[in-house]
Structure 1
Amino acid sequence: MASRDVEIGMIFLLQTIVGFLGNFFLLYYYSFLYYTSCTLKSTDLVLQHLIVANSLVILSKGVPQTVAAFGMKHFLNDFLCKLVFYAHRVGRGVCMGTTCLLSVFQAITISPTGSRWAQLKPQASQCIGPLSILCWILNLLVNAIILKHVTGQQNRMNNTKEKDLGYCSAVDIYHSIKGSLYVLLFSSYDVLCLGLMTWASGSMVCILRRHKQQVQHIHSTKLSPRSSPESRVTQSILVLVSTFVLFYTLSSIFILFLTIIPNPDLWLVNTSALITACFPTVSPFVLMGRDPRILKMHPTCYAWNRKFSKLIRCL
């Protein structure tokens, strides 16, 4: 085994462990919060779905890539290859959908009383749970097409239409009419979510700016009033959405290269997988670093979270 393969395997292993533990701790935190106080914010409910989707992406990408990097490229049979790629696509789609839902919900929540979006506030909190479940159902149905076109390395034929993805192979259908329809279907979902995220983020920035200007007129500069809880939650969601858009853009560029190139190099496959799992790995630490409630969970967490919060707020 080459030293380069060991290094790649260690990178994937470290990313998988860090990302899984971060999401597990955040899920434990919300569970602890619910069973001790029996109350959760509406945004916390969406974040729970996001955490599950993050874990799905990390496990479905990180574990197979790690094992393949250490030389075991034929460890998945046909069924497991289909399952792994299906789980990854569903997790990725739910990550995008819940992040979009989170930003839109918060934009409606902080909208001024006189705006037309303020009328949706009562309905928004009631619909956020069903919409999160609908996001799962939609991605489970749409991504079922992956099951037909992914096979294990054991069943791989010497076919020019098959792409070697390291530990599995996939039929190259994207240069056909049917493949173009698949790309259009997946892209329409991505474009819709990104468009809503852009609108919601722009609205939140404008609302926060107007709120800051109003506060400066009311309070003197000596008082330095603390930001409201809604403002802190909004800022956290803006950081989360910005992080998602950054990593999603990079991931989309590499996925485009994988789609266009008939036989992509292994480094391109590994880099694409590494970047794809970056948001699910980083997002729980972004949320923990900007949530003041987590400091009250355990005294020993206070010092670490205080330093990490300062680091995240500088982003």
Structure 2
Amino acid sequence: MEVYQTTKLLLFLVLSLTGVQGNLTVFLAFIHIACSGQKWSPSDTITVNLSFTNLLLVTCRGVPQTLTAFGLKNLFNTPGCKFILFCFRTMRAASISLTFLLSISQSIIIAPASSRLAVLKKSLPRNLLCSLIWFWLLSGFTSIASILYTKAAEINATLSSFTLNLEYCFTVFPGKTVYEGTNIMVLVRDTTMIALMASASWYIVYILFKHRKQVKNICSSGHHRGVSAETRAAKAVITLVILYVIFFGIDNMIWIYTFSVPKVSTQITDTRVFFSLLYATIFPLVIILSNKKVSNSINYVMVLIKYKEAATAIVKDNKAHVSK
């Protein structure tokens, strides 16, 4: 059991540190881009919302899970548990909703002029804010059970079969109907979003395939200018959707499994939490590697830091020589 606890501690520690640092870096990079006067695309607006969402998701779920693995108990009182669980559930729902919105917006952006989606290109920036607000409200509304039924963890408490034991907090549903109804609602929401984003990604792949054939013809005539920003963004969206389907697919399969057993073991819960955090952890790496504006912003800041360190070292050396 000590080997399991040590492994659990290391895995969640790596996930928490990587997820928080990565998403914070991407979020601050977009802030720097905005302050430098560069224009944001609709995809950039959704991506910065996703980085903020994943940052909170890892903070609200990964950090408490890591502290629990360290052996810390009673991290939160009941109001604290209600807040942290509601925040996590809302961020998890927002993460899948915004990934869906990102795939849809990218489908519209790369749609050819002859496509029916092309008519939505002009209205996309105008309707984006309303779409973001709608998905945030939907995420909060479908997570309201966390406020209603969550309480602080109790030592040696007798738990019913309709209780979610997170070690540091309990979510105690009042009965089978509420327990199954809440879980089915969330499952339908997630499954619908995944199906829609998968369909949007299939359309993006189809457009990219057609574009690749056109590029081959252009290359043969010597007029190829390289990969466009829209193509790079489309490939990044496809990568994110694939990762989302894999990680949250496993997460939801484990969730479905918990319906069929009277008591869920800690190992099963930890496995589900691990996969639910993987997407939020890998997300910033995909963005940094695929988004030139983000990578350039990070490189610019790193150069400034090195320049500042070099300047500080020179000033210290000059002071040392003067003092002699």
| TM bucket, shorter chain | 0.7 to 0.9
Aligned pairs for 1:171-190 (under 5 A) are 171-172=172-173, 176-190=176-190
Deviates more, 1:22-31 or 1:38-47: 38-47
Cα deviation, residue 184, structure 1:
3.2
Aligned twin of 2:101: 101
Q: Is the 8 A contact 2:22 2:284 kept in 1?
A: yes
Following the alignment from structure 2 to structure 1, what is the Cα–Cα distance between the partners of residues 164 and 100? 32
Cα deviation, residue 101, structure 1:
0.3
Q: Is the 8 A contact 1:78 1:155 kept in 2?
A: no
Contiguous gaps of at least 5 residues in structure 2 = 304-324
Aligned twin of 1:240: 240
The yes-or-no answer on 1:146 pairing with 2:146 is yes
Aligned twin of 1:165: 166
Aligned pairs for 1:5-16 (under 5 A) are 5-16=5-16
Following the alignment from structure 1 to structure 2, what is the Cα–Cα distance between the partners of residues 205 and 237? 10
Following the alignment from structure 1 to structure 2, what is the Cα–Cα distance between the partners of residues 123 and 224? 30
Aligned twin of 2:80: 80
Question: For residue 280 of structure 1, what is the amino acid of its counterpart?
Answer: A
Larger Rg: 2
Q: In 2 relative to 1, CA 258–152 (structure 1 residues): closer, same or farther, beyond 3 Å?
A: farther
Instruction: Report the 3-state secondary structure (helix = DSSP H, G, I; strand = E; otherwise coil) of the residue aligned with 2:151.
Output: strand
Deviation string, structure 1 residues 81-137 (Cα, Å, up to 9, x no partner): 222211111011000000000000110111111111111111112111221121111
Cα deviation, residue 219, structure 1:
2.7
Taking every aligned residue pair, what percent have the same amino acid on both sides? 23
Q: How many residues align?
A: 301
Cα deviation, residue 160, structure 1:
2.8
Following the alignment from structure 1 to structure 2, what is the Cα–Cα distance between the partners of residues 13 and 81? 21
Aligned twin of 1:307: none
Cα deviation, residue 206, structure 1:
0.7
Cα deviation, residue 222, structure 1:
6.8
Contiguous gaps of at least 5 residues in structure 1 = 303-315
Instruction: Report the 3-state secondary structure (helix = DSSP H, G, I; strand = E; otherwise coil) of the residue aligned with 1:170.
Output: strand
Q: In 2 relative to 1, CA 301–294 (structure 1 residues): closer, same or farther, beyond 3 Å?
A: farther
Cα deviation, residue 191, structure 1:
2.5
Question: For residue 172 of structure 2, what is the amino acid of its counterpart?
Answer: V
Following the alignment from structure 2 to structure 1, what is the Cα–Cα distance between the partners of residues 268 and 72? 19
Deviation string, structure 1 residues 30-59 (Cα, Å, up to 9, x no partner): 000000024211111101111111012101
Following the alignment from structure 1 to structure 2, what is the Cα–Cα distance between the partners of residues 4 and 33? 43
Aligned twin of 1:293: 293
Length-normalised TM-score, structure 2 = 0.85
Following the alignment from structure 1 to structure 2, what is the Cα–Cα distance between the partners of residues 218 and 7? 53
Question: For residue 181 of structure 2, what is the amino acid of its counterpart?
Answer: L
Q: Is the 8 A contact 2:60 2:84 kept in 1?
A: yes
Deviation string, structure 1 residues 138-162 (Cα, Å, up to 9, x no partner): 1112211222222211388424333
Following the alignment from structure 2 to structure 1, what is the Cα–Cα distance between the partners of residues 249 and 98? 17
Q: Is the 8 A contact 2:105 2:124 kept in 1?
A: yes
Following the alignment from structure 1 to structure 2, what is the Cα–Cα distance between the partners of residues 88 and 208? 35
Following the alignment from structure 1 to structure 2, what is the Cα–Cα distance between the partners of residues 287 and 265? 35
Aligned pairs for 1:165-244 (under 5 A) are 165-172=166-173, 176-220=176-220, 225-244=225-244
Q: In 2 relative to 1, CA 167–258 (structure 1 residues): closer, same or farther, beyond 3 Å?
A: farther
Instruction: Report the 3-state secondary structure (helix = DSSP H, G, I; strand = E; otherwise coil) of the residue aligned with 2:256.
Output: helix
Aligned pairs for 1:119-158 (under 5 A) are 119-154=119-154, 157-158=157-158
Deviation string, structure 1 residues 7-35 (Cα, Å, up to 9, x no partner): 32232122101110000110111000000
Following the alignment from structure 2 to structure 1, what is the Cα–Cα distance between the partners of residues 88 and 200? 26
Q: In 2 relative to 1, CA 262–152 (structure 1 residues): closer, same or farther, beyond 3 Å?
A: farther
Q: Is the 8 A contact 1:107 1:201 kept in 2?
A: yes
Q: Is the 8 A contact 2:74 2:168 kept in 1?
A: yes
Following the alignment from structure 2 to structure 1, what is the Cα–Cα distance between the partners of residues 28 and 4? 36
Q: Is the 8 A contact 1:19 1:281 kept in 2?
A: yes
Cα deviation, residue 258, structure 1:
3.3
Aligned twin of 2:31: 31
Report the RMSD for the aligned CA atoms in angstroms. 2.3
